[in-house]
């Protein structure tokens, strides 16, 4: 089950980097980073109370997979709507005042993943106060986000191109959640007993990447023909 969680968290991390790279002011950018960084600090006492038995119990709850998939779909549709509003606000000055704040809406799955990562950190490292570990975790998180966002902006300088990639990531998120039953063994999914099969995983990932890639190139071709 942790393979699914890591997979979903990886998608939302890439989404978060692209999402923050679209911040249209330093003020919004700073507040968005702070809102993400504050979550592990607020939850660090709760993370410190967790045990290996708790994580093992969670990993043995197959319904978690279906719950994450449903959250992925709901979050994907919501983020897609916000992305459309963000695009409209960018080209319509009268909407810019409030659509610029869309960057402050983080991914709930990404924030949940941060909680699990921090919990694993607390369980893996002994003899260091949890407060120091929490601040170190937040510092590393901010550093990784800053470097990733900087590299994205340097590589993809066009704001519109980054928004398009963000939209494609959301589509990938939706497709990955909808194709989730194919990742489980067999066609009939019983979320009481899930067996990981790597061939269906590779097949599903290939289909999703192919669909996203085809859609992206068709969009770019049509966009170039119009211009």
Q: Which residue has the tokens 């699990």?
A: 116
Q: What is the pLDDT of residues 17-57, one digit of tens each?
A: 999 999 888 888 999 999 999 999 998 888 888 888 887 77
Residue 138 in this model has a pLDDT that exceeds 50 = yes
Number of domains within the chain: 1
Determine how many CB atoms are found less than 10 A away from the CB of residue 159. Answer: 14
Taking the alpha carbons of 18, 22, 26, 30 in that order, is the dihedral positive or negative? negative
CA distance 73 to 71: 5
| Mean pLDDT, the chain, integer | 78
Q: Which residue has the tokens 């694993």?
A: 120
CA distances from 179 to 79, 131, 200 (A): 19, 40, 10
Using alpha carbons, select from 216, 169, 191, 164 the residue that is nearest to residue 69. Answer: 191
Q: Which residue has the tokens 């899930």?
A: 194
| Residue that wins the pLDDT comparison between 85 and 46 | 46
**Residue 7 token pair:** 């997979």
Average pLDDT over residues 163-171: 88
Residue 62 in this model has a pLDDT that exceeds 60 = yes
Residue 159 in this model has a pLDDT that exceeds 80 = yes
Ranges 146-150, 159-163, 172-176, most confident: 146-150
Range of the domain at 206: 2-226
What separation, in Å, do the N-terminal and C-terminal C-alpha atoms of the chain show?
46
CA distance 11 to 109: 9
The pTM of this model reads 0.76
β-strand partners of 184: 196
Q: What is the pLDDT of residues 173-224, one digit of tens each?
A: 888 777 664 554 444 444 444 444 555 555 555 655 665 565 555 555 555 5
pLDDT of 75 reads 86
pLDDT of 150 reads 95
């Amino acid at each position: 089950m942790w393979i699914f969680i890591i997979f979903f968290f990886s998608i939302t991390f890439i989404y978060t980097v692209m999402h923050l790279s679209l911040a249209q002011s330093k003020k919004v950018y700073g507040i968005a980073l702070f809102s993400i960084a504050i979550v592990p600090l607020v939850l660090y006492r709760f993370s410190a109370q967790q045990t290996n038995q708790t994580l093992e119990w969670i990993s043995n709850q197959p319904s978690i997979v279906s719950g994450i998939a449903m959250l992925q779909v709901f979050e994907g549709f919501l983020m897609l709507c916000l992305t459309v509003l963000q695009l409209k606000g960018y080209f319509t000055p009268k909407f810019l005042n409030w659509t610029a704040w869309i960057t402050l809406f983080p991914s709930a799955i990404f924030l949940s993943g941060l909680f699990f990562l921090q919990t694993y950190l607390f369980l893996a490292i002994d003899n260091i106060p949890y407060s120091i570990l929490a601040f170190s975790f937040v510092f590393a998180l901010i550093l990784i986000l800053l470097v990733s966002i900087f590299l994205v902006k340097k590589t993809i300088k066009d704001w519109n191109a980054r928004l398009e990639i963000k939209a494609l990531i959301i589509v990938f998120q939706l497709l990955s959640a909808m194709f989730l039953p194919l990742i489980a063994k067999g066609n009939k999914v019983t979320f009481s007993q899930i067996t990981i099969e790597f061939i269906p995983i590779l097949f599903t990932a290939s289909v999703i990447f192919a669909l996203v890639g085809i859609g992206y190139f068709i969009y770019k071709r049509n966009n170039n023909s119009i211009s």
